[in-house]
Structure 1
């Protein structure tokens, strides 16, 4: 026996047909939009921005979210159209309102860059929407906003939550920052072991800062078994990427042979890399190497060059050594007044060797008028810091001074010390 089909009421049939037609229309529109977006992106990649605009604008005006995002990018970059950040924000907002995750992230980043309290809150709104869709970059940026302090949205717990989500998606920067959270105890219980675990993940993704931090942990045994040779391997990976701290640490490890074979040549190489990046201490060390001529060929011009670079950055030992070169005329025309000026710079910052030498210049009238009171003052300060030669010369100067001169010199030394406490 055949079962008769029930008759569908006309009003339900009309509703069904309307929904079906909408679905078919949407599918056709989506297929058309996809084809148009593909052609627009091909034109864009080929540098044909005008064609890209022609293809994408009707689709964006028709409500396609991806096209709206693409059009926003064209306005932001000013390709195919006159650059217009306001129009870019308009189209990004249209796309973001339709759930386009890239537009939501873009809006969040743009609002975040503005930095006002209102904009930061808007940034959190859009970044959160993108984050909830699993956008790792958005999760990372959202975590940074929550982590910032002062901030209208500061929340360490939320920062950890979103940083962890981004890190679990293998976002390298998030892995690094999560490691720092555990190292400092920010928003979580301090845990050097977990810090090292996250540093390693970030280090393996190639981040030089993470490689340095992992190397530091391995060198000191913080949160991980101490292993200096492996630490050196990570320092090398970071140093080869230009990480200054790693280059400096490698130079010191190779020069001292701490936990590894001593290698002055390797040390010199890493000091040079760090010096070329502007590290004053490394510049000073390179100057000394060229001056001694044991590891690298002796080169006084290079010595002078690197001492000047370090001294210009306020490196006290370099300043004092440079002064000595001018005082003695070693490799250059003697210039005692220049030497006095350099000694004074270092002496005024409390460098005992410079204080002693400035006292000597005053005592002997080199580059400056002889002044036994000033000589005693500087010998006194250097002697107070433990310089034995200064102590002897202070005693010698006292034999040439009147009681009034001695009292004046001692008062000058007391005043100098008082001003620096």
Structure 2
């Protein structure tokens, strides 16, 4: 996903620069140049409660248009901006950072970009502070530096830079998540995110649409209409997560959005093609099964499942383990099936944990190991998987890998049956379990 995101960002950056050059414009200005925001907006950048996949600071190239004297060649412009940056001019330092980030006139160099953004940020340049904050937050062009990121983003937000407002608002929300204070009012963060989102910053739109107004965090009440509003704005900018979640909303409909399966699949497909593993899996399964309004297309469905597996999506790895075990869509490969099931199980996928119970209990593809079967059954059961609960109950009833404890077995059978597991309901009728249940 990181590689896909970086490639998309680089393509958008290159296109933005080429448009500027073709129109007699450059991305840098002279000492008297004028810089002003335009209507462009950042490229799709994934929001996560804990930031992970790389998304370049798109406002470096897409949210500013700067005019220069058209008689300058690119080498002349680069020489002038380099000279002015060395003289300490903040705007030229910022622009030289942009040139190094995008690789215009010079080889792309995130280290140099970070250095020049940092120099301009030290002079209080709002846009440079936003970019320096991004790079230090995610460890691009140098080590992760939370303190430097916080200071830079605070400066950018105070200076009115919308990208800085989006990132600083996100940082404040992340802080609340990490400290488990998401219920505490945080009006500054909500205000910054709202202002940034309304200014077109996609990361802020995504946070408001996928988190803040979905769950009602930091003093903002859950508001489906507002969530859908910001999801649509972010989806219009091809934000993969927003595309996925908005697509899911269309699939089921609700008070704030009409049910439209065709729109839903279109959005989910676009999200999947942009690298969103969470969209790849339902799309792939529906194509394989010919379900949820999708025509049956196993080959295409398998492609999406494999794409998600490449991103180590736990549930998709579990699906692929089952596909390899069944041998209908691909040649049966028990060793690979066990390998993917184990990785998915360790990552928390309940279905894969249940697969590993069977592999370990029966010695199918691995050495028989009842203790391992108990471990995976417990992981699945405690995670709420009904079949895992039934299996753990059976192990307790039979005293396999654990001391025999019929009452404990009955507890797990009851939890499983409450979720509709018919075999667990049948197990509860066993005379031994009926007798134990009377004393509970």
TM range (shorter): 0.5 to 0.7
Q: 2:283 aligned with 1:246, yes or no? A: no
Q: Could you tell me which residue of structure 2 aligns to residue 11 of structure 1?
A: none
Q: Could you tell me which residue of structure 2 aligns to residue 291 of structure 1?
A: 325
Structure 1 unaligned spans of 5+: 1-27, 46-51, 399-405, 415-421
Change (3 A) 1:183 1:64: same
Q: 2:170 aligned with 1:144, yes or no? A: yes
User: Alignment partner for residue 392 of structure 2, among 355, 358, 363?
Assistant: 355
Larger Rg: 1
Deviation at 1:218, TM superposition (A): 0.9
Report if aligned partners of 2:356, 2:376 keep a CA contact under 8 Å in 1: no
Structure 2 unaligned spans of 5+: 1-29, 34-67, 138-143, 382-387, 418-423
Q: 2:232 aligned with 1:203, yes or no? A: no
Q: CA RMSD in A?
A: 5.1
Q: Could you tell me which residue of structure 2 aligns to residue 218 of structure 1?
A: 250
Alignment of 1:5-404 (within 5 A): 42=75, 52=79, 59=84, 64-69=89-94, 89=118, 92-94=121-123, 96=124, 101-106=126-131, 115-116=146-147, 120=150, 123-129=153-159, 131=160, 135-144=161-170, 150=176, 156-180=186-210, 181-185=212-216, 190-222=222-254, 223-251=256-284, 253-254=286-287, 259-261=292-294, 263=296, 265=298, 267-313=301-347, 315=349, 317-325=351-359, 328=362, 330=364, 332=365, 335-336=367-368, 338=369, 340-349=370-379, 350=381, 351-355=388-392, 358=395, 374=404, 383-384=413-414, 385-386=416-417, 387=424, 390=427, 395=432
Report if aligned partners of 2:284, 2:304 keep a CA contact under 8 Å in 1: yes
Work out the number of aligned pairs and report it: 340
Deviation at 1:291, TM superposition (A): 3.2
Could you tell which deviates more after superposition, 224-233 or 275-284? 275-284
Comparing both chains, which one has the higher relative contact order based on Cα–Cα distances under 8 Å and sequence gaps of 6 or more? 2
- Cα distance in 2 for partners of 1:111, 1:277 equals 25
Change (3 A) 1:160 1:297: same
Report if aligned partners of 1:107, 1:126 keep a CA contact under 8 Å in 2: no
- Cα distance in 2 for partners of 1:275, 1:83 equals 35
TM-score scaled to structure 1, two decimals? 0.59
- Cα distance in 2 for partners of 1:289, 1:215 equals 26
- Cα distance in 2 for partners of 1:146, 1:314 equals 28
1:147-188 CA deviation, whole Å, 9 max, x = no partner? 56559xx98544444434433443322332343444445566
